Amino acid sequence: MFEKVLIANRGEIALRIIRTCRDLGVPTVAVYSTPDAEARFVRAADESVHIGPGAPSRSYLNIPNIIGAALRTGADAVHPGYGFLSEDPYFAEICADAGVTFIGPPPDVMENVGDKATARRLMTEAGLPLLPGTTEPVDSADSAEQIAREIGYPVIIKAAAGGGGRGITVVHRAEDLRDAYARTRAGAQAVFKNSAVYIERYLTRTRHIEIQVLCDDFGGAIHLGERDCSVQRRHQKLVEESPGPNISPELRERLGAAAVAGARAVGYRGAGTVEFLLETDPAAADTFWFMEMNARIQVEHPVTELVTGVDIVSEQLRVASGAPLSVKQEDVVVRGHAIECRINAEDPDRDFAPTPGLLENYRVPGGPWVRVDTDYVPGSRVSPYYDSMIGKLIVWGPDRATALDRARRALAEFDVSGPGVHTTIPLHQEILSHPEFTRTGVTTDFLERNFAL
């Protein structure tokens, strides 16, 4: 195991990683920006290093400052969490050059799965089903129009280097294609520094199902079941649950086997997620398509931990330190049901506009089978510099109905207030009480069909 781990992230995920390191007896180093100086994760770490002002480009994305902090404190490993530098192969290479272990997949693997067009090609070669579309970047508007005509509208244009729901444009009509292509490329270049895009057929009534995989350097490759992430706004997840509602054992086995095959095909190591779209048309029941692979720990990993009992961060640390996975596929047993609600400082009535500000009151729920991952306390300030998520509410129950009851109870206890601060708590309460959601697995257009947002 490592001598000391530096967490190149902030907030709840930094605190989450620190806690597992403490369980394993591994000292930790937190890096922080000026606005985060009094944050809980900074106080929880054994050491802390200031790395810059609030702007991410000058702090949490500042590779020289982060590497310098690791070298000064004697950290021999860096955990990137999610977001920021977590899927940056260049950062992983710099860590290796500095003699610091990057807790994640090798840089070349990260580069292959991070480029969505390349990932599609590799997964096709591994035998995973793909929606009609391109496996190479589309290099001109003329080519884009021809491809769209061949596969049929609607189509979706995606940034090859995209992620987190960004860099995506849905096109329903041929006359909108050229403008959408140009806008998506320009946006991809501005956000991801890579203008490459690919095109695939867009399905309006599908479920978003993802499979958690774990791989080591000794041939170990397993999955921990599925998560249903279909409740989304602007392609960003709001509610996640495991196992997926109305997923048959046979379909679960097929999804898991496909995910493991894909992970093996790219030489994956560590914790990753293989994402699929699941057809809901009864005529094509249990048909699914590969969408993308995320080379990092996911925001929603706690729901998998609650139903399997596997500490995913612990497995990441084991594998990165050169040890095999501590669990085999036959050891994985899914028990009960878990639901996660992302609590964001956003106003759903204003197109989910972020509402940063002072949290004068911040009381999280408790009680049996309730977990809240958060870095905030009363008096904390939600910064305009970073993601608006202020906490994750995760509950477990022996079945889905009980988990829903506990989630509704916990949401009623969640009390957040401050000048100008709005949250997604009321919306979550509506979602978890909606008949369509409580009855069955919903599709990715659930929110737009049922809520005037």
d(CA 244, CA 176) in angstroms, rounded, equals 35
d(CA 419, CA 101) in angstroms, rounded, equals 43
Residue among 398, 363, 403, 402 nearest 380 (CA): 363
d(CA 104, CA 88) in angstroms, rounded, equals 10
d(CA 428, CA 434) in angstroms, rounded, equals 10
Residue 296 among the catalytic residues = yes
Q: Which of 296, 318, 342, 400 is catalytic?
A: 296
Cβ atoms 242, 228 nearer than 8 A: yes
Strands 337-344 and 346-347: unpaired
What amino acid positions are annotated as catalytic residues? 296
